[in-house]
Amino acid sequence: MDCLPPVTYEQVYFVEAAQARRQLNPIAIKPSIHGHEILWNDTGRGVLLKASHILCEYDKPSQAAAFPDRIIITLESGATITLTALDLELYYTKLKQNVAGQPDFETDQELRYYYLNTDFEA
């Protein structure tokens, strides 16, 4: 389903980039879609990208009102970036070893709360 802009998702995502020209932080915080632009905060400087297409995927149709499970971004260059809703399994298998301080979390909610409410610029 195409994402309906403008929208901001109060969610944390794992970032995977195929053929992207620049290195991206693997964490996307509160992605916001405005037309063919998508921006998000991360634990560094943040990201703003121009896309040719942005697709939102939902594992459960009833979840569409909250946040997508995946946001698939096709850039004008043809590169694809996939944002996948971050949960404990993704965090522990793909992220924790590269995160400063390597914090531990017991629930998906605790993980999301940490990234949504921590000021990484301080």
The model's pLDDT over 12-46, given as tens digits with 9 standing for 90+, comes to 999 998 766 678 889 999 999 998 999 999 888 88
96 belongs to a structural domain: yes
Considering its fold, how many domains does the chain have in total?
1
Task: Spell out, as residue ranges, where the chain has pLDDT lower than 50.
Answer: none
16 belongs to a structural domain: yes
106 belongs to a structural domain: no
> At 76, which CATH number?
2.30.29
Q: Please tell me whether the overall predicted TM-score, pTM, comes out greater than 0.85 for this model.
A: yes
77 belongs to a structural domain: yes
- Domain with 69 in it: 7-100
Decide if 32 contacts 47 (C-beta within 8 A).
no
115 belongs to a structural domain: no
70 belongs to a structural domain: yes
The b/e string for 45-78 (b: 16+ C-beta within 10 A; e otherwise) is eebebebeebebeeeeeeeeeebbbbbbbebeee
pLDDT at site 99 = 83
